[in-house]
Amino acid sequence: MTKSNQPANPILPPVEPPAELLGNIMAAVAQEPPTAWEKAQSAIAPSQPASVFTMALTLSVALAGIVLIGLLVLAPSVLVSQLQGMLWVVRECAGFVVSGVRITGMFVDSGLALIRPTLVITNQVWSTAAMLLRIVSSGPLLGIVISGCALVIAGQLLLLRLLFTRPVAQHT
């Protein structure tokens, strides 16, 4: 239980604030630079294009919905074939990415196997670097980019190896 409000202290009664306090405060408030919420309001105000964009997006989504429903009602076979086509595209893309990653890994491995004996690097550093490369190359987009780079590097290394037929010592 907490004590309820006490009456004003009889020995120290309220003191009236100076008459100019309100004026001073309001003058200071008027001179204040734009506050956080005023800035936020002014940032929202000129963003009319955003609302137009939202409206256009909503309209296009609605239109797409209408077209889809129309196709579903009027020509379901067309819609099914279209969907199958889209799925095929998605599957192929996914397959491309996966194979890109696999190829990356392969080329990285082979590239590393080629250059490993020629560099003086301890096994531990080597395996860490290979692991890092595999991790980096596991991202789909990066995988494709790195696979390209790895392909070029591996090709150059193969060419070098063919040109200089010095036998490469097996790494133990």
Partner 1 sequence: MEGPVAVAAPTDAELVATVLNGNRNAFAPLVERYQTGIYNFTYRYTHNREDAADLAQETFLRAFRSLHRYNKKYQLRNWLYSIAANVCRDWSRKNGSRPATMAFAASPGIDSSAEPAGDSSDNPAEIVLTNENSKALADAISQLPDDYRACLILFHIEGISQAEICQILQLPLSVVKNRLYRARLRLRQMLGEVS
Binding site for partner 1 (CB under 8 A): 2-18, 21-22, 24-26, 28-30, 32, 35-38, 41
Q: How far is the CB of 36 from partner 1 (least distance, A)?
A: 6
CA quadruple 117, 122, 128, 130: dihedral, nearest 10: 0
Per-residue burial over 25-61, b if 16 or more Cβ lie within 10 Å, else e, is: eeeeeeeeeeeeeeeeeeeeeeeeeeeeeeeeeeeee
Q: How far is the CB of 39 from partner 1 (least distance, A)?
A: 10
Closer Cβ to partner 1, 24 or 138, answer by number: 24
Closer Cβ to partner 1, 1 or 120, answer by number: 1
Closer Cβ to partner 1, 3 or 171, answer by number: 3
Q: How far is CA 165 from CA 55, 67, 88, 161, 162, in A?
A: 68, 65, 46, 6, 6
Closer Cβ to partner 1, 13 or 46, answer by number: 13
Q: How far is the CB of 16 from partner 1 (least distance, A)?
A: 6
Q: How far is the CB of 46 from partner 1 (least distance, A)?
A: 15
